[in-house]
Amino acid sequence: MDKLEDLKKDSKFKHQFLFSLPRLGTSIILGIEGWALLTLYTSGYGLDPFRTGFAIAMGYLTIAIFQFLLGWISDVRYTKLGRRKPYILIFSPLLGLSIIFLLLPQLILPDLNNKDVLFFWVLIWDIIFRASYAVTTPYQAWMAELFNVEIRPKVSQIQNTFNYVGNGVMAIFSLLILTSYVDDLKVNVNSTVPGIFAIPIIIFGILTIVLFYLIAFFLPTEPKYELKSNMKESLNTILKNKNFLLIIFMVGISGLAWSMITSTMLKYTEDALNLGGLDYVIVALFLLIFIFIFLYLWRRSINKKGKKKTLLCIFLIAAAFLPITFISLIPMPSYLIFGIIFIIGIGAVLGGWFLFPYIVYADVAEDDQKRSGELKAGIYAGFPSIILNIFQAIGSLLIGAILSIPIYYSPSVAVDSYSIGLILWGPIASLILLIAYFYTKKYVVLDFEWEK
């Protein structure tokens, strides 16, 4: 372990910066998949919300399995390239290619009016996408081997800076380009794919591969250290770690709400708020500006108040904010101002939440190392995905069912009628986050004594 500690001490800013780069690509493609897939396939391609939600749910279950497996395998197998790099080299190309086929079914399918074929297409490619997205587990586990606990919040901030640059790119693409294409699809589902839609998707897929390959080639390989525990023993260790299990269920409970938010927010602005054109430009600009503001504020809060107090604050603010979806019941000549407020609030709470998994799993792995003498960063990063993605799968099925409620509403003749579920999802997610708040407050430890 001495060589590992020396590697952490030798960490330079260029290593922190380089390590964080892949988050630019993954935030773009995962953001599009999470934000826009439901909207693209339901509002655009005309697939019913329940089957679309089912396909997305199966993707979550797939990543639950693969994140655990890649985390565990990358822990126990040391190669000439180290523990983490081989999986980055193998799975990142699959990740980049799968997002292209997932969002561009027209590349292969001749007739998108065949909804049964379209359903199996989104089901298969979302499963492949989520399986290959598990590359982020060995990647993220690498943090515990490259950086000391004092540096991890800074590394997480750099990662999230790239996350939010990616989210900004994704938001502009989704709000301006994808929604315009969805409007075209409503007229003719087999319309020619415009280059302004297809070319960025291909670029995003290639960018993801390139950024992962950069860190595989240029970051130092962690030194070999022995893990005497086999898979059964490693599982026994983490299953006996009561606080870790409590953290996992906290992530899972809140994940029900986070998956509902990310998959529905774009559809809500598209269908319930009836935004479009210049409105989306304005909304996207506000999103970009406030994302960076809140990223900085939440990081400062972690440094001053600690992780638990900051996370509880995020849960409370999100729970108080989400019932705002009821406001779309009120007839307005324009929902632009409300749309700006809605997007800012969503960006603020998601920005805070996304800071945490990077830090917490690495901290828990190091906490275990101080007691067991073994750093099992991969399995600590991968095991939570089993619970988290099961909860997120349930969330996707739930939102599919909510958006399929056959009660329709339109506040004015200018707005097409939509399912009342587009209004109800906000308060439902709010209730879930309140449960997560009280659970976390009572049971979860996020700040460890050795950090002081």
In whole numbers, what is the pLDDT of the chain averaged over residues?
Answer: 83
**pLDDT given for residue 101 in this prediction:** 95
- Choice between 211 and 298, residue whose per-residue pLDDT is larger: 211
- Choice between 154 and 218, residue whose per-residue pLDDT is larger: 218
Please state the rounded mean pLDDT for residues 419-426. Answer: 91
In tens, the pLDDT along 368-414 reads: 777 776 666 666 766 777 777 788 788 888 888 898 888 888 887 77
**pLDDT given for residue 130 in this prediction:** 92
> DSSP secondary structure string, 81-120?
TBTTHHHHHHHHHHHHHHHHHHH-GGGT-S-TT-HHHHHH
- Choice between 438 and 393, residue whose per-residue pLDDT is larger: 438
**Where would I find the beta strands (DSSP E) of 291-370?**
none
**pLDDT given for residue 89 in this prediction:** 93
**pLDDT given for residue 432 in this prediction:** 95
Domains and CATH numbers, the chain: 2-451 (1.20.1250.20)
**pLDDT given for residue 233 in this prediction:** 66
Query: Alpha helices, DSSP H only, in 110-178?
Result: 115-133, 136-146, 152-172
Q: Which amino acid is at 327?
A: I
In tens, the pLDDT along 298-334 reads: 878 888 888 899 999 999 999 999 999 998 888 888 8
Contacts 24+ apart (CB under 8 A), 1-7: 1/225, 1/373, 1/375, 3/223, 3/225, 4/145, 4/222, 4/223, 4/225, 4/375, 7/145, 7/146, 7/220, 7/222, 7/223
**pLDDT given for residue 317 in this prediction:** 95
Please state the rounded mean pLDDT for residues 179-187. Answer: 84
**pLDDT given for residue 225 in this prediction:** 64
Please give the Cα distance from 392 to 384 (Å, whole number). Answer: 12
- Choice between 117 and 375, residue whose per-residue pLDDT is larger: 117
Q: Which amino acid is at 423?
A: I
Q: Is the per-residue pLDDT at 234 higher than 70?
A: no
Q: Is the per-residue pLDDT at 2 higher than 60?
A: no
In tens, the pLDDT along 32-55 reads: 887 788 889 988 899 998 899 899
Please state the rounded mean pLDDT for residues 176-204. Answer: 88
Least confident window among 115-129, 160-174, 420-434: 160-174
Please give the Cα distance from 296 to 315 (Å, whole number). Answer: 18
Please report, rounded to a whole number, the percentage of residues in the chain having pLDDT higher than 70.
Answer: 90
**Of the segments 124-128, 220-224, 245-249, which one has the largest average pLDDT value?**
124-128
In tens, the pLDDT along 264-301 reads: 887 888 788 887 767 777 877 787 777 778 877 887 88
**pLDDT given for residue 426 in this prediction:** 93
Return the structure tokens found at 87. 């999986």
- Choice between 236 and 192, residue whose per-residue pLDDT is larger: 192
Please give the Cα distance from 216 to 84 (Å, whole number). Answer: 9
Q: What angle do CA 8, 13, 16 make, to 5 degrees?
A: 65
Q: Is the per-residue pLDDT at 1 higher than 50?
A: no
